[in-house]
Amino acid sequence: MAGEAIFIGYRRDDTADVAGRIYDAMAQRFGRQRVFKDVDNIGPGVDFGDYIKTVLPRCRVALVLIGPHWLDSRDESGKRRIDDDHDWVRTEIETALATPGLLVVPVLVNGARMPRGEEVPENMRPLLRRNAAIIRRDPDFHDDVERLAAAIRASVNTGIIDLSKIGGKSAGSAPAPTRERGPNRAPLWIGAALALLALGYGAWRFAPALLQGVQQEQVAAEGGAASVPQETDVADGSAPAVEGQHDTAPPSAPTQTPPQQPVAQTGNIIRDCPDICPQMVRIPGQSYAVGRYEVTFAQWDACVAAGGCNGYRPDDRGWGRGNRPVINVSWNDAQAYVQWLSQRTGQRYRLLRSEEWEYAARAGTTTNFSWGDSDPVCDQNARNGANFSACTDDRTRPVGSFQPNAFGLYDMHGNVWEWVEDCYYSSCSAHFLRGGTWNSDPEILRSANAGGYESVHRVSNIGFRVARTV
């Protein structure tokens, strides 16, 4: 049982009902001897602190249930319980966070939001740098719990819990859900399917990716509070989308094998209007062209100046606009841009489908990256150069700063996550992301990797690139 059990922590006056349902669901899947919930497992007269310190090292995962009243629960004197050094929930969380090898996952239930840093005691703030799982109310409850259970099951073998497709939003989450620097980042993905589902070559495969310390900023959402982890980066306040290793199947729609040599000479470049229209590269043997670069702030601002893009002017976080990739744009924002561009040019612009994106990113390769299997480096002159977590500036780079792939496409690996057309949940409330970002570790930049994020959210490591039917 050691290292394979699940601990469920919750506040009784906040989530007792849903905690019981989650406990029953996990016990059914893993066995009651592998699921701990204080009210069910602690005996009369047992010291709670000692019990927690004994139990948590035996667990693989600690689920911290956060409901709508988790922060506001108060004692008889009117003081918030979370501010009490002896509050059991606080004790559980602080002990869990200090337990080596324990995967601590905040679980947002009943529509709760992730607390902000200033709302919790300092020792609990590392919890907020973990991407959250989402457990929605019926009729989605069972599907969400099953995805969470699948991720936990996989973590027994990998030491990683994949939160990529948990219902309801991010990680989150989120990506995203920015995270603390260093080789070991806190877990991010929940969206695993069982190990038998493989998204690799033909079926679904969810590889390890629990980005440690993943942090989600407070994002602007259309229609209410975001349901993803709301966090800011320790250094610069930036925030990521959900990241992970959620490998996709090889592209199936494009059938021709692309050439190995660069093909993006002048004759393969399309530009439907001077200056403000993206340069497009015809993909050989296919009926679509792909933006040579990620859409830039200059191109977005031109859309706004022309009365398009719903007049929305994204924040550049002080990094600069111009030739940097536009960030803080939601999937819905990206749709507004391609609609405007289509009207402006009379051509059919759109987002890439996920399989089209991967086909273009691979540029004829079957390796981890378009340049081969070697990890990226932060060297603009290297063939395997990319803007990722090893770069010390912790922000986007101007588009085209690194070498292109064999199709002449820039920044397919790193810089910003790129929205694609495909739905991430069956409800289409979230959409896929491809390519990794400036704060991703190397494995996240792989051609096969995919993430996902709620369609209405805007964060500082998500942008997009356009496609055009030819």
- Entry pTM: 0.54
CATH number of 266-469: 3.90.1580.10
Q: Of 243 and 172, which is predicted with more confidence?
A: 243
Tell me the helices (H) and strands (E) count for the chain, helix number first: 8, 16
Beta-bridge mates of residue 431:
423, 453
- pLDDT above 80: residue 440: yes
Domains 5-247 and 266-469 share a fold: no
- At 257-275, the pLDDT tens digits run 333 333 333 458 999 988 7
The pLDDT-based confidence of 323 (bands split at 50, 70, 90) is very high
Share of the chain above pLDDT 90, in %: 41
CATH number of 5-247: 3.40.50.10140
**SS3 of the chain: helix, strand, coil, percent, to 5:** 25, 20, 55
Residue 426, pLDDT score = 77
Mean predicted confidence (pLDDT) in 380-397: 94
Mean predicted confidence (pLDDT) in 167-179: 34
Per-residue 3-state assignment (H helix, E strand, C coil) for 33-45: HHEEEHHHHCCCC
Residue 302, pLDDT score = 96
- Dihedral of CA 469/321/244/370: which sign? positive
What is the DSSP annotation of 361-430? HHTT--SSBTTBSSPPBS-TTSTTB-BSTTSTT-S---TT-S---TTS---SSBSSEEEEEEESSTT-SE
Beta-bridge mates of residue 158:
none
What is the DSSP annotation of 218-273? ----SSSS-SS-----TTT----B----EEPPPP-S--SPPPSS---SGGGEE-SS
> Whole-angstrom Cα distance, residue 58 to residue 51?
11
- At 184-207, the pLDDT tens digits run 232 333 333 322 222 222 222 222
Residue 144, pLDDT score = 86
- pLDDT above 90: residue 251: no
The pLDDT-based confidence of 293 (bands split at 50, 70, 90) is very high
The pLDDT-based confidence of 38 (bands split at 50, 70, 90) is low
| Most confident listed range (3-17, 147-161, 385-399) | 385-399
Residue 165, pLDDT score = 43
Residue 123, pLDDT score = 86
Q: Average model confidence (pLDDT) for the chain?
A: 76
Helix (H/G/I), strand (E/B), else coil: 303 = helix
- The ranges assigned to domains in the chain are 5-247, 266-469
The pLDDT-based confidence of 46 (bands split at 50, 70, 90) is low
The pLDDT-based confidence of 422 (bands split at 50, 70, 90) is very high
- Fill in the DSSP letter of residue 295: P
What is the token pair recorded at 174?
């989120």
Residue 162, pLDDT score = 55
> Whole-angstrom Cα distance, residue 61 to residue 64?
10
The pLDDT-based confidence of 328 (bands split at 50, 70, 90) is very high
Mean predicted confidence (pLDDT) in 449-457: 87
- pLDDT above 60: residue 68: yes
Residue 49, pLDDT score = 64
- At 207-242, the pLDDT tens digits run 222 222 222 222 232 333 222 222 222 223 333 344
Helix (H/G/I), strand (E/B), else coil: 434 = strand
Residue 374, pLDDT score = 96
> Whole-angstrom Cα distance, residue 160 to residue 138?
28
Distances (CA, A) of 168 to 79, 228, 347: 32, 9, 35
C-beta separation of 394 from 381 below 8 A: no
Mean predicted confidence (pLDDT) in 402-417: 97
Residue 290, pLDDT score = 98
- At 116-166, the pLDDT tens digits run 889 999 889 899 888 788 898 888 888 888 888 887 877 655 555 655 544
Share of the chain above pLDDT 70, in %: 72
Q: Of 40 and 279, which is predicted with more confidence?
A: 279
Helix (H/G/I), strand (E/B), else coil: 455 = coil
- At 351-360, the pLDDT tens digits run 999 999 999 9
Least confident piece of the model among 78-92, 104-118, 190-204: 190-204
- pLDDT above 60: residue 460: yes
Mean predicted confidence (pLDDT) in 89-116: 88
